[in-house]
A and B are shown apart, each in its own frame.
Chain A
């Protein structure tokens, strides 16, 4: 099991090593916000893409996802045949 804090601290400038999804890293689009405020964004196969505003130390305290879905619920299209009485 890889410790996320230790990994980021040691690999701050070389965040290229691919990691298995079974580790603490999630799929593409997921992120982890650390107590110190930096945000780790993961790419395909759980590879960290970049670290934003990294401050040494801290613990991952928040998790989330940048995935965004959409659901359209259109009103049913209604038409009416109008018959004119003779």
Chain B
């Protein structure tokens, strides 16, 4: 079991668009990214942080607490017909993260349900740290940001 790809959680998007009218505001500065390994995301059925499978195998360490860190400078924009979500790069100094994270779950910490937004697969590499900076660098919005949904027919 492993994280091998990035994806958007369908159940959350359904709740946004159907009569549930889940108030997912991607401009908020309160969405968090939490680190995981050895989980297998199911983008159709997974629902939230702290709900299976995200109630286990979370990676924490010095200066990286359970629940993860907030994404700041979030912005939703139209990039040539693609709905694009971007944020400032994540950079946390003086971390010791001994277990290699495979990816990060971005979830709506401000919502009572901690609804899952997307899983970001970090790719191949060693992302452990020892009293060093743990960083996640997003691409520029024009290149896709955190995620981009091409709405152009």
Contact = CB atoms under 8 A, between A and B. Distances in A.
A72 B139 contact: no
Given A28-B131, A29-B130, A67-B130, A73 B146 contact: no
Question: Could you tell me the dominant secondary structure of chain B's interface residues?
Answer: strand
B144 A78 contact: yes
Nearest to A68: B130
Contacts of A71: 133, 135-137
Q: Which of B121, B131, B153 has most A Cβ within 10 Å?
A: B131
B129 A70 contact: yes
Contacts of A77: 6-8, 118, 120, 144, 146-148
B128 A72 contact: no
Range of interface residues on A (Cβ < 8 Å): 10 to 19
Q: How large is the interface on B (under 10, 10 to 19, 20 to 34, 35 or more residues)?
A: 35 or more
B132 A81 contact: no
Contact of B122 (A69, A74, A78): A74
A76 B145 contact: yes
A66 interface: yes
Contact of A66 (B103, B125, B130, B136): B130
25 contacts: A29-B131, A66-B130, A68-B132, A70-B97, A70-B125, A70-B126, A70-B132, A70-B135, A71-B137, A72-B127, A73-B137, A74-B6, A74-B121, A74-B122, A74-B123, A74-B138, A76-B139, A76-B147, A77-B120, A78-B144, A78-B148, A79-B8, A80-B149, A80-B150, A81-B153
Interface of A: 28-29, 66-81, 83
